[in-house]
Amino acid sequence: MRLKLVPSETNWPFFKRAKMTFGLSAVLFVASIVVFLTMGLNFGIDFRGGTTIRSESSQPVDIAAYRDAMAGLELGDVTITEVFDPSFGPDKNVAQIRIQAQDEVESITPETIAAVESALQTIDPAITFPSVESVGPKVSGELIKTAVLAVVLAIGAVLFYIWLRFEWQFALGAVAALVHDVMLTIGIFSVLQIRFDLATIAALLTIVGYSLNDTVVVFDRVRENLRRYKKLQLVEVLNQSINETLSRTLMTSVTTLVALIALFVLGGDVIRGFVFAMIFGILVGTYSSVFVASNVLLFLGVKRDWSKSDGGGAGTNFGNVKA
């Protein structure tokens, strides 16, 4: 017996509320920008610079006691957080001590790290320090620029690729969906103040690739149906194409989410930010392939026969079709 997420043949009216769904996307997009500008991101050590010391103890983490023990070291801005993970046993209590870089110093000295460890050992002599990571402020600034450039270049490459493979209307629809997905992911990270580091940038680039793949599958079917059904209105062709690829889209998304949810629950806190970004990105990417990219294509319109020159009229044949 085969698993079916949707019936073999569907005819759901995806564009019945086109203005509402597209308006919702626009509101969420603008809200994400506002939240990002007002609240900012909780940048990890990769982007802020400084040193992160990870501690493990059999005793419960007492953040106030840790802070009091380190108060005499005069390290400036110090953040101490307890790391929760369902895979940790009762005797494994993990804390993360983040010491911000100051005065353009690439990292705190080994003597300072040893002083921090000694101070914490006065609370628990058996405490261990499995990892110490340091990033200087200059390096972190360069990483921010490189990360932004990587995302912009990826979206630009997508625009060029879709333009060559399809038409410029398809390219703009695909890029609109990608920008929508990336911005909403950044917005949720800003709202929840989840740590934003290089792993998150990797997740954003992965989301761009996943969303593009989803959109191209729909657009390929749209192009085929535009040639096959020359008398159907564009909105009908789009709706039929989405219904025909719906089973594939949902099956791909669900199977990917199953693996990601398992990683989110069992993978540990080190990759949790990356996995969360992937989960959220797949959800909004699946949504945007239908309700953003296709809506933009409906608004711009497309020509019907690619074997002939459009005489400069591409994008106007069905641009006035009402959804």
Please write the tens of the pLDDT for every residue from 293-305: 888 888 888 766 5
For residue 316, being part of any structural domain is answered with no
What does the DSSP 8-state code read for residue 264?
H
Task: State whether 166 and 261 are in the same domain.
Answer: yes
- Give pLDDT, residue 7: 64
Residues 6+ apart with CB under 8 A from 165: 216
Task: State whether 23 and 39 are in the same domain.
Answer: yes
CA Rg value for the chain: 25
Which of 95, 113, 135 delimits the end of a domain? 135
CATH number reported for the structural domain that contains residue 57 in this entry? 3.30.70.380
Could you give the 3-state DSSP secondary structure of residue 16? coil
Task: State whether 191 and 170 are in the same domain.
Answer: yes
Which of 87, 114, 135 delimits the end of a domain? 135
Q: Are 173 and 294 in contact (CB under 8 A)?
A: yes
Which residue shows structure tokens 């200087």?
136
- Give pLDDT, residue 188: 94
CATH number reported for the structural domain that contains residue 276 in this entry? 1.20.1640.10
For residue 321, being part of any structural domain is answered with no
Give the pLDDT mean for 194-202.
Answer: 84
Residues 6+ apart with CB under 8 A from 155: 175, 178, 179, 182, 208
Task: State whether 57 and 118 are in the same domain.
Answer: yes
Task: State whether 29 and 65 are in the same domain.
Answer: no
Residues 6+ apart with CB under 8 A from 102: 76, 77
The predicted model scores a pTM of 0.74
- Give pLDDT, residue 136: 64
Q: How far apart are CA 68 and CA 72, in angstroms?
A: 8
Domain count, the chain: 2
For residue 167, being part of any structural domain is answered with yes
Task: State whether 107 and 155 are in the same domain.
Answer: no
Could you give the 3-state DSSP secondary structure of residue 219? helix
Give the pLDDT mean for 71-88.
Answer: 76
Structural domain for 171, as ranges: 18-43+140-300
For residue 320, being part of any structural domain is answered with no
Residues 6+ apart with CB under 8 A from 234: 226, 298, 301, 302, 317, 318, 321
> Does 106 score more than 90 pLDDT?
no
Q: How many CB atoms lie within 10 A of CB 252?
A: 16
For residue 323, being part of any structural domain is answered with no
> Does 236 score more than 70 pLDDT?
yes
Task: State whether 144 and 241 are in the same domain.
Answer: yes
Q: Are 100 and 48 in contact (CB under 8 A)?
A: yes
Closest CA to 80 of 91, 92, 70, 90: 70
For residue 13, being part of any structural domain is answered with no
Task: State whether 87 and 131 are in the same domain.
Answer: yes
Which residue shows structure tokens 């101070």?
119
For 126-166, what is each residue's pLDDT tens digit? Answer: 888 888 877 665 666 677 788 888 888 888 887 788 788 77
User: Quick one: pLDDT band at residue 107, thresholds 50, 70, 90?
Assistant: low
- Could you list the beta-strand ranges (E) of 20-123: 42-43, 50-57, 78-83, 93-100
For 2-37, what is each residue's pLDDT tens digit? Answer: 556 666 677 778 888 888 888 899 999 999 999 999
Task: State whether 218 and 84 are in the same domain.
Answer: no
Closest CA to 138 of 101, 168, 163: 101
Which of 68, 102, 135 delimits the end of a domain? 135
Give the pair of three-digit tokens for residue 96.
């993360």
For residue 33, being part of any structural domain is answered with yes
Q: Are 187 and 33 in contact (CB under 8 A)?
A: yes
Which residue shows structure tokens 């990292």?
107
- Give pLDDT, residue 138: 60
For residue 153, being part of any structural domain is answered with yes
Task: State whether 33 and 149 are in the same domain.
Answer: yes
Q: How far apart are CA 168 and CA 118, in angstroms?
A: 62
Task: State whether 128 and 240 are in the same domain.
Answer: no
CA 77, 192, 146: angle at the middle one, nearest 5?
70
Closest CA to 289 of 199, 207, 192, 191: 207
Task: State whether 270 and 165 are in the same domain.
Answer: yes
- Give pLDDT, residue 82: 82
C-alpha distances in Å from residue 298, one per residue of 20, 24, 156, 167, 169: 14, 17, 22, 13, 9
